[in-house]
Amino acid sequence: MINIAWKDTNWKPRFFSIWGGQAVSLFGSQLVQFAIIWWLTQETGSATVLAYASLIGMLPEVILGPFAGTLVDRWKRRRVILVADSAIALATIFLAYLFAMDAVGVGTIYALLLVRGIGASFHWPAMSAASSLMVPKEELTRVQGLNQMLQGILRIIAAPLGALLLSLVQIQSILMIDVGTALFAILPLALISIPEVTKKDNGKQAVGQPSFWGEFRSGLKYVRSWPGLLILMLMAMMINFLLTPAGSLMPFLVSDYFEGGALQLGWLQSAFGFGMIAGGLVLSAWGGFKKRIRTSMVGLIGLGLGMLVMGFIPANLFWIAILSAFFAAAMLPFVNGPIHAIVQAVIEPEMQGRVFTLMGSLSAAMAPLGLIIAGPVADAIGVQSWYVIGGISAILMAVLGFSLPAVMNIEDNHREAAALSQEKVDTAEPDGLQTR
């Protein structure tokens, strides 16, 4: 049996105190990310260095994600978030010191990015799983709308503000701003309790806690036993495979196809950010369809249409590209928010860390593959062709999703997976015991 310190009726002050602190901290992290990337650009002038920096930042999520999720499900989530935030802040303080001493090299930057990536691989699943214990299920989609809106806001303000700060202060000062914003995340967590999942006796004689590997295997079995979730994860991988190159190729779409410059690229990126804000606002106010997956599939069709227009419009109609970027970005919260809410609302709290990190790891692993394939495709048949391919694929995935009962009934058909997973946990080998 699972005993949960469940959400009370006055959940908003507790949750939004923590959420607000995390939002401020995320803003500081975005400033640091921009400052580091710009420093690498100025110091090395190497695209290879920037590519390695991006890869190092992604590797912990890809490699450690599933294992981190299992640990998050075993440990107290509040403690995991606190340790992750604190470790990232300490690493940033150390880097600021090295910048002040003029003792920073590319290897040092890589090391910091690796530490931040490791911290994020624990922080994100712990925060997501903890949120599902603080927010009523019927409000989860609205909260995800706010999260998507926050991402859009950061897209718009973090880069220009980071550029302004770099022109006014030294980079170590920007790093210390990130440390200051991290305190906004750490203090609420230190003062406000988060509900935790505690395991009770389920009527069987307990001989110990299941082993780490037993719980890890139970997470994999949980996903394999739930066709709807497995299909949804495959769709998320495909979306990431298509969208990551679309964003990376946008500068070439502007310069090579629309024959524009930095100003036009800025307009397009701003339209994308404002679109995410608009979509997040609508989703948080509306909450989506009662069946959450229907909201995601409708959003996926809209996203595909937006990408198709980007790929098909004539080169002299750049203003339509701006409208298309706004529309496509506005659809992203409708695609991502409900899926995240489904995982939070339907999956048992003691299993959420493993499921979140498995989804994140597989999706993140598709980004490098998409970039490898999209480059030659764009060189061979034109950069706008990738937007056409992505748009058609997104629409076809949505049509497929609507036609599959396993996907459309994902919020109702999870019981078999939960039962199989619990059976696996109950029979798992306890820590400290050996069988022959």
**What are the distances in angstroms from CA 179 to CA 228, 347, 394?**
41, 34, 39
pLDDT tier for residue 230 given thresholds of 50, 70 and 90: confident
The single-letter DSSP state of residue 139 is G
pTM of the model: 0.67
Task: Concatenate the DSSP letters of all residues of 305-367 into one string.
Answer: HHHHHHHHS-TT-HHHHHHHHHHHHHHHHHHHHHHHHHHHHHS-GGGHHHHHHHHHHHHHHHH
- Greatest mean pLDDT among 26-35, 64-73, 305-314, 414-423 lies in 305-314
CB 229 within 8 A of CB 346: no
CB 401 within 8 A of CB 297: yes
Task: Concatenate the DSSP letters of all residues of 172-205 into one string.
Answer: HHHHHHHHHHHHHHHHHHHHS----EEE---SSP
Place of tokens 């706010």: 146
Report, as an integer, the average pLDDT of 198-204.
49
CB 157 within 8 A of CB 97: no
Tens-place pLDDT, residues 273-309: 889 889 988 988 888 888 889 999 999 999 999 999 9
CA-wise closest residue to 388 among 305, 290, 284, 279: 305
| b/e per residue 105-129 (b: at least 16 CB within 10 A) | eeeebbebbebbbbbbbbbbbbbbb
Q: Who contacts 234 (Cβ-Cβ below 8 Å, separation ≥6)? A: none
Q: How far apart are CA 34 and CA 38, in angstroms?
A: 6
Place of tokens 């389920």: 202
Give the range among 16-20, 176-180, 319-323, 351-355 with minimum mean pLDDT. Answer: 351-355
| Residue 374 pLDDT | 73
Is residue 422's pLDDT more than 60?
no
Phi, psi of 44, deg, nearest 5: -110, -30
Residue 119 corresponds to which amino acid? G
pLDDT tier for residue 328 given thresholds of 50, 70 and 90: very high
Tens-place pLDDT, residues 210-225: 665 666 677 677 777 7
Place of tokens 């950069």: 383
Report, as an integer, the average pLDDT of 226-237.
83
CA 356 to chain centre: 9
| b/e per residue 284-323 (b: at least 16 CB within 10 A) | beebbeebbbebbbbbbbbbbbbbbbbbebeeeebeebbb
| Residue 262 pLDDT | 61
Is residue 257's pLDDT more than 90?
no
Tell me the angle at which helices 77-100 and 171-191 cross, rounded to the nearest 10 degrees.
Answer: 160
Q: How far apart are CA 25 and CA 39, in angstroms?
A: 21
pLDDT tier for residue 397 given thresholds of 50, 70 and 90: very high
Report, as an integer, the average pLDDT of 90-103.
90
